[in-house]
A and B are shown apart, each in its own frame.
Chain A
């Protein structure tokens, strides 16, 4: 009995303390807790390694007018925060967040990034290897095992394409963005309702090219707290890297799950 009451008091105290910390952080830094967002906010969502970091740079350029070639990653991440970051600053409404989450009812406006799942797997495998999961097996990665985000690629994609909570949604393919970034940025601008001229979009796209983002990473880092500096986050950034980087047996296992989705999206 007594210990039950003690537990309750302790929980209540902890909750109060958390609230107190939240308000103190906001008062002293001007940042907001990540649970505080509004319907106008836009979420840039995709399975990891589908181009979300690239798109963060593009949004920072198009919306906030920073030069993606020079704007340090730390700034990019402040302007377009990841939705796992505890605190962020609301520089404007809408705020643009990056997220790898499956569909959530609170996400009302979504840019969904899609990339050929086979390339995603190659990239994901290298990404995890470079990070904390040094011993991870490629075969496990394609089956969604031992990965930080507990779902398979096709599940993420199918879940979002079915759009269960009727978010306003714009789908952008990595490959289209790669081939004609300006065209996709134009679609993005129309979707979020901002006016930017062709030359400006061209300029931003060029500044946020893979080579420039890679150079920036080399000169000033990627500013991900968990990223080891031994490998580059910007690894290859190509279409079709699965062709020379995905062993047949791994591909076969992946295709059993993802084949239908890839076909539906025109990748096969």
Chain B
């Protein structure tokens, strides 16, 4: 339990930070704000870049990643700058009443597991921990505290708090980016012409984003979560970005266990 003095110091510091920097607290969100949500490794980072391009008109070829993360910040960062209303946030959170407008990112759970395994391996290695693919699909070794893949997906598709929700499939976004961006613009009631969307889509293509990461790094801050390991330098966050990578990367026995849990959800979504 915090004593009174500590609370007072925290409050003073918080007020000081806000007045010195003009930033606002992560809790200062409004109903119009939009949350880009999904199980980790479902294409959020890509979508953050697309939103920065479509909404704020940044040229992804020159705009550093660090700028993108400030324009479309992670919702768990303690402070952010409100550049516009709505603001767009990224989060992997489960449904909560505060999320009123949601873009839910969906990707074939098998590919998600492959990607999540590689991601978790890199993250956990920094803490000297080993990673077991089987435990990953069983939801026991992820670095996020949220549920198994199918639970995350089912929880959101049920939309228990009646958020305005747009579902975007990674695979559709991959095959026809412009069309999905058009759906996004309609959802947002924002007008952008197809030529513009095409330009943004091209600049956010996987190989372009990967090249940019190689040249300049990911620009992810290491300050927001002292308890959270940073993505290590020299590793590619943008790893493969393909549809169907599970086919050559998921061992049969791991796949079998995953399908016991996730089979129905995959079927329902047309992945099986």
Q: What residues make up the interface of A, taking CB atoms closer than 8 Å to B?
A: 21, 24-31, 63-67, 69-72, 74-75, 78-79, 86-87, 89, 91-92, 220, 225
Contacts and interface: CB of A to CB of B under 8 A. Distances in A.
A66 B66 contact: no
A225 B22 CA distance: 9
B56 A74 contact: no
A30 B223 contact: yes
B21 A75 contact: no
A28 B78 contact: yes
A87 B64 CA distance: 19
B151 interface: no
Interface in B4-49: 13, 16-17, 20-23
Interface size class of B (residues with CB under 8 A): 20 to 34
Given A27-B223, A29-B23, A91-B67, A65 B62 contact: yes
Contact of B21 (A25, A27, A220): A25
Nearest to B59: A65
A79 B81 CA distance: 13
Given A92-B64, A225-B22, A78 B81 contact: yes
Given A27-B223, A65-B58, A75-B83, A91 B66 contact: yes
B contact face: mostly helix, strand, loop, or mixed: loop
11 contacts: A63-B62, A65-B60, A65-B61, A65-B63, A67-B57, A67-B59, A72-B84, A74-B81, A75-B83, A91-B64, A91-B66
Given A24-B13, A25-B21, A75-B83, A64 B64 contact: yes
Interface in B214-238: 221, 223-224, 226
A79 B66 CA distance: 11
A220 B78 CA distance: 25
Given A66-B57, A71-B57, A89 B66 contact: yes
B79 A64 contact: no
A92 B67 CA distance: 10
A171 B221 CA distance: 35
Contacts of B82: 74
A177 B264 CA distance: 63
Interface in B106-153: none
B213 interface: no
Nearest to B71: A75
A194 to B, nearest CB: 9
Given A72-B56, A74-B22, 4 more contacts: A28-B79, A30-B224, A78-B70, A79-B67
Contacts of A30: 221, 223-224
Given A24-B13, A72-B83, A66 B21 contact: no
B99 to A, nearest CB: 24
Given A71-B57, A74-B83, A78-B81, A66 B20 contact: no
B118 to A, nearest CB: 27
B266 to A, nearest CB: 39
B17 A70 contact: no
A36 to B, nearest CB: 14
A74 B78 CA distance: 19
B63 A86 contact: no
A69 B221 CA distance: 28
